[in-house]
Amino acid sequence: MTIAGKISKAGFIAAFSLLGLAVSQANASTAPAMTDAEKEAAKLIYFERCAGCHGVLRKGATGKNLEPNWSITQPDGSKLEGGTLRLGTKRLENIIAYGTEGGMVNYDDILTPEEINMMARYVQHEPPIPPEFSLQDMKDSWNLIVPLSKRVTKQMNKINLKNVFAVTLRDAGKLALIDGDTHKVWKILESGYAVHISRFSASGRYVYTTGRDGLTTIIDLWPEEPMTVATVRFGSDMRSVDVSKYKGYEDKYLIGGTYWPPQYSIVDGLTLEPIKVVSTRGQTVDGEYHPEPRVASIVANPLKPEWVVSVKETGQILLVDYTDLDNLKSTAIASSKFLHDGGWDASHRYFLVAANASNQVAAVDTKTGKLAAIVDTAKIPHPGRGANFTHPEFGPVWSTGHLGDDVVSLISTPSEEKKNAKYKKHNWKVVQELKMPGAGNLFVKTHPKSKNFWADAPMNPEREIAESVYVFDLNDLNKEPRVLNVGKDSGLPESKAIRRAVQPEYNQAGDEVWISLWGGKADQSAIVIYDDKTLKVKSVITSPEIITPTGKFNLYNTMFDVY
Ligand code: DHE
């Protein structure tokens, strides 16, 4: 058990509140000394481990504000002040080492005590501002490895591509392509640092990966062995990418959204040649200027020539029309701040996205191009793409788990089908909360052919909880979920660090569920595959090259948004 696992709930809450509230008793006014070498080392750790949640400029989003000093004017005119300088090195060390119940993970099993002390001092200094990244910078980074004229003209292998899984090997900076039919690793390819997501071309031939360092690759699945055919850098910190999917525009363009610089860029969908960069800097929905509005989720609308782009800090959801890039049209839908991840409802008309630090889910009606609803939820919703099913009492629902609460929320979604008219009064309400054993959920999943609903809890500090997944019965949602201990089921020996069971993903047929057992970089990790009906282990994919597997993307389910 980690130290974090032994700390009481009250202890976590106390630690968590320290970051958000004004702390009066601390009064350090200058940051503790650091050598230049320490600053450089800390800058790298901050980028790799902290910037995603707290922001490059440390203004906070999913994580708290980490500026040395901050002050906000409250609605009644009074000022609230805080900052890392007030917290001081000792408290910051505790928070970094042991985590908080609000979703900050413990780093005592990832960083050494010396590194934790260095980071505690580092965040008391003013944040360095990284350089911008222009269209010319993108062009300079572009590497067309195999031009279109040199690519094969038919599929040269016998793999059932629709059931291939693209698996992120996070800390190895690699992507594994696994044959979903045989459960055999087909090919492991170099990628950007800690690939975040993989998406597929509208044709199903190409895989796009995006590294946190902004390096995006296009992998061709048609040659005898898959190969990277082009790469381009979108910026220095990145999370999302998608192709154009509308009829006549299939795979013509690829859009990528960066955390730094805060912008989205459009490149050629087959060669990745850079075309256009658009900044997302601007006003939040509250009317304040934000210097770092990062691009969170992006999805392609299959029914219109547009992408739905969620801008985290401003709370603006952009509908970017790609029919005329020279005269680019974009509709900004004001929703709720701190947008993060999301997915389509069952009808594929509404896109629902978590405004995670606002404890809300925003829904866009892509048919009318307007905001459909903002739904209050439990703390820190984190849906991944969410999961859709027909609730026995409330009809069609879309669901999200929560990083900061021990429930899964089921939100009623509209349906044009006559038989669902009776559920209209429930639309855009949380109609039920399924009880989880603790907070720390990241992903939920079901499949149209399944009667099971899967939820993980990898960010829970308790080993037993984080190493397990929870399977609810869609026929009786009031029943306790069945608990599958993925750590034990993997057959691997226990390791010092928690191996987080993360991201259930169905195969194409909807009869298997794949779970990553995400261990430490030096530990043996695995992907455990369960039979969806019997909940028995079907196979375990493990070998020294399966290092830190996290996200898994089944080609068919990702292409057609089946979830
Ligand atoms: Fe993710 C999706 C951002 C940490 C695994 N993650 C997303 C999306 C965003 C995002 C914006 C939506 C992309 C889209 O649909 O276009 N993630 C962030 C962060 O900012 C954060 C909190 C911190 C960071 O530094 O990156 C973060 N994410 C993680 C992890 O630590 C996870 C668990 C493991 C990993 O590989 O890094 C992780 N995120 C994922 C996965 C998805 C994802 C697997 C896609 C889910 C899907 O089903 O589509």
Name the catalytic one among 340, 402, 426, 447: 340
How wide is the angle at C-alpha 480 spanned by C-alphas 479 and 486, nearest 5°?
Answer: 135
pLDDT of 85-119, one tens digit each?
A: 999 999 999 999 998 766 688 898 889 999 999 99
- Identify whether the C-beta of residue 379 lies closer than 8 Å to the C-beta of residue 404: yes
Name the catalytic one among 53, 436, 459, 559: 53
**Residue 522: predicted pLDDT:** 87
Residue nearest to atom 47 of ligand 1 (CA): 384
125 is catalytic: no
Residue nearest to atom 33 of ligand 1 (CA): 550
Q: Tell whether ligand 1 has an atom less than 6 A from the beta carbon of residue 400.
A: no
Q: Tell whether ligand 1 has an atom less than 6 A from the beta carbon of residue 440.
A: no
Atom of ligand 1 nearest to the CA of 459: 33
**Residue 102: predicted pLDDT:** 64
Residue 461 in tokens: 């500090």
CA-to-CA dists, residue 30 to 18, 71, 119, angstroms: 19, 17, 16
Atom of ligand 1 nearest to the CA of 48: 25
d(CA 364, CA 291): 25
196 is catalytic: no
Q: Tell whether ligand 1 has an atom less than 6 A from the beta carbon of residue 55.
A: no
pLDDT band at 20 (very low <50, low <70, confident <90, very high): very low
Q: Tell whether ligand 1 has an atom less than 6 A from the beta carbon of residue 295.
A: no
pLDDT of 163-208, one tens digit each?
A: 999 999 999 999 999 999 999 999 999 998 889 999 999 999 999 9
**Residue 245: predicted pLDDT:** 97
**Residue 2: predicted pLDDT:** 31
Taking the centre of ligand 1 as the mean of its atom positions, its distance from the CA of residue 196, in whole angstroms, is 6
Q: Tell whether ligand 1 has an atom less than 6 A from the beta carbon of residue 197.
A: yes
Q: Tell whether ligand 1 has an atom less than 6 A from the beta carbon of residue 341.
A: yes
> Residues 421-440, buried b or exposed e (16+ Cβ, 10 A)?
eebeebbbebbbbbebbbbb
Atom of ligand 1 nearest to the CA of 52: 25
* DSSP assignment of 282-343: EE-TTS-EES---EEEEEEETTTTEEEEEETTTTEEEEEE-S-GGG-EEEEEE--SSEEEEE
Residue nearest to atom 44 of ligand 1 (CA): 551
Q: Tell whether ligand 1 has an atom less than 6 A from the beta carbon of residue 499.
A: no
- Identify whether the C-beta of residue 260 lies closer than 8 Å to the C-beta of residue 47: no
First to last CA, the chain: 34
pLDDT of 517-563, one tens digit each?
A: 999 888 899 999 999 999 999 999 999 999 999 999 999 999 999 99
Residue nearest to atom 23 of ligand 1 (CA): 52
Q: Which CATH architecture has domain 3-122?
A: Orthogonal Bundle (1.10)
- Identify whether the C-beta of residue 200 lies closer than 8 Å to the C-beta of residue 245: no
d(CA 389, CA 345): 9
3-state helix, strand, coil in the chain (%, to 5): 20, 35, 45
Residue 479 in tokens: 């029943």
Atom of ligand 1 nearest to the CA of 384: 46
How wide is the angle at C-alpha 221 spanned by C-alphas 268 and 450, nearest 5°?
Answer: 105
**Sign of the dihedral through C-alpha 84, 89, 95, 96:** positive
**Residue 72: predicted pLDDT:** 83
pLDDT of 243-259, one tens digit each?
A: 999 999 999 999 999 99
CA-to-CA dists, residue 159 to 123, 203, 222, angstroms: 49, 16, 9
**Residue 445: predicted pLDDT:** 98
**Residue 4: predicted pLDDT:** 30
| Residue 428 or residue 192, greater confidence | 428
Name the catalytic one among 196, 290, 382, 447: 382
Q: What percent of the chain has pLDDT over 70?
A: 94
Whether the per-residue pLDDT at 232 is higher than 80: the answer is yes
Arithmetic mean of pLDDT over the chain: 92
**Residue 101: predicted pLDDT:** 64
d(CA 308, CA 301): 7
**Residue 10: predicted pLDDT:** 29
pLDDT of 44-85, one tens digit each?
A: 999 889 999 999 999 998 889 999 999 888 778 888 899 999
Residue 539 in tokens: 């196979």
pLDDT band at 374 (very low <50, low <70, confident <90, very high): very high
Atom of ligand 1 nearest to the CA of 502: 33
119 is catalytic: no
* Strand boundaries in 380-499, DSSP class E: 381-391, 395-402, 407-412, 430-435, 444-445, 452-456, 468-473, 482-485
Q: Tell whether ligand 1 has an atom less than 6 A from the beta carbon of residue 550.
A: yes
- Identify whether the C-beta of residue 374 lies closer than 8 Å to the C-beta of residue 424: no
With the CA atoms of 461, 463, 469 and 472 taken in that order, what torsion angle do they form, in degrees rounded to the nearest 10?
Answer: -70
How wide is the angle at C-alpha 428 spanned by C-alphas 427 and 433, nearest 5°?
Answer: 100
Q: Locate CATH 1.10.760.10 in the chain.
A: 3-122
Helices (H) and strands (E) in the chain, counts: 10, 37
CA-to-CA dists, residue 352 to 310, 344, 437, 452, 529, angstroms: 10, 6, 25, 22, 28
> How many CB atoms sit inside 10 A of residue 157's CB?
15
| Residue 26 or residue 512, greater confidence | 512
d(CA 29, CA 75): 27
Taking the centre of ligand 1 as the mean of its atom positions, its distance from the CA of residue 239, in whole angstroms, is 7
pLDDT of 346-360, one tens digit each?
A: 999 999 999 999 999
Q: Which residues are CB-contacts of 288 (< 8 A; sequence separation ≥ 6)? A: none
Mean pLDDT of 472-488: 97
Q: Tell whether ligand 1 has an atom less than 6 A from the beta carbon of residue 168.
A: yes
pTM of the model: 0.91
| Residue 16 or residue 384, greater confidence | 384
**Residue 77: predicted pLDDT:** 85
Mean pLDDT of 423-430: 98
Mean pLDDT of 373-397: 97
Q: Which residues are CB-contacts of 456 (< 8 A; sequence separation ≥ 6)? A: 401, 441, 442, 443, 444, 469, 470, 500, 501, 502, 503, 504, 515
382 is catalytic: yes
d(CA 537, CA 418): 40
Phi, psi of 201 (to 5 degrees): -70, 160
d(CA 506, CA 77): 51
Pairing of strands 537-541, 549-554: unpaired
Q: Tell whether ligand 1 has an atom less than 6 A from the beta carbon of residue 166.
A: no
**Residue 99: predicted pLDDT:** 85
Whether the per-residue pLDDT at 25 is higher than 70: the answer is no
Helix or strand or coil: residue 264? Answer: strand
Atom of ligand 1 nearest to the CA of 240: 16
Q: Tell whether ligand 1 has an atom less than 6 A from the beta carbon of residue 296.
A: yes
- Identify whether the C-beta of residue 349 lies closer than 8 Å to the C-beta of residue 370: no
